Amino acid sequence: MWGRRDMNDLLFELPLPDYFDLNACLAYMNRSPLECLFRPDNEGVNRLFMPEGKPLLVRLTTAAEQPPRLQVTLLSGAVPGAEATAGLVRYIVEWFDLDRDLAPFYGIAGRDPLLQPLAVSERGLRIIGIPDLFEALCWAILGQQVNLAFAYRLKHRLTAEYGTSLEYEGHTYYHFPAPEVFLEVTQEELCSLQLTRNKARTVLEVAALIAGGGLSREELLALPSPEEAEARLLKLRGIGPWTSQYVRMRCLRDTTAYPTGDVGLQNAVKFLTGMDRKPTPAELLELAVPWKGWEAYATFYLWRALY
């Protein structure tokens, strides 16, 4: 799936599918300077990984020559072994949804008056995933009923306090903490970072469940349908429909996920349609009938109308 070159810093290359544009993805990833888990610029993105517990800082760019390839180069750390490299490949493929054929989505979007302009302006944008279940759940929990900027600040505080970091060329790179880290953490400690008591409790309960093997991404993906995965998530205290839909979309790579309770989605539709109020969930469901099977991608593109 990847090929090594006789270059010290190049770890591997990944073939790129049709309808992929790293620049479109970077534009989305650059939407907030408060993001702490990766550092994008105009040409690529740097991210800290921890394969086998060892810090590995890599940079993703696209090859200048044809055929189109995603190049993954080593910035800091030891060259990983075959197993760790394979895990890194899987993560990046899921991070950028690289094995998805977007031709059907663009066929739908090209016939839809709401999506058509976005399908042109954002051509090649992929859903930027969160392949780690604990990170995805925490990000969704932190984002409940707060604005995006404050959610980013909460994530930064949580990551800086309990995660791993690496200094490189004047920047601090962070890796999100593993659920096991929170087994000895108290609600009061999380509340001191400005999490509400409910959010702190939910983060700790989810961490304990995942660390103890009671919940995993593999388990959710093995269920017969995305709806059953959502039902499993909804059994968790503090996890509601918006959070479960968000995790289906960003972590479980479910293209049918459709968070009708998402304020960003509501505001995007209101803005693009000229409505004098936010659309109701029923109106959003009716609007999405032509998008069947691609609701998550429609949502992701509609968000780009706002940020």
Residues serving a catalytic function are 262
Dihedral sign for Cα atoms in the order 193, 199, 203, 208: positive
Structure-block tokens of residue 213: 């093997």
Structure-block tokens of residue 157: 């505080």
Dihedral sign for Cα atoms in the order 166, 86, 176, 42: positive
Distances (CA, A) of 139 to 75, 118, 238: 27, 26, 13
**Strand, helix or coil at 62?**
strand
CA distance 223 to 99: 21
CA distance 167 to 101: 37
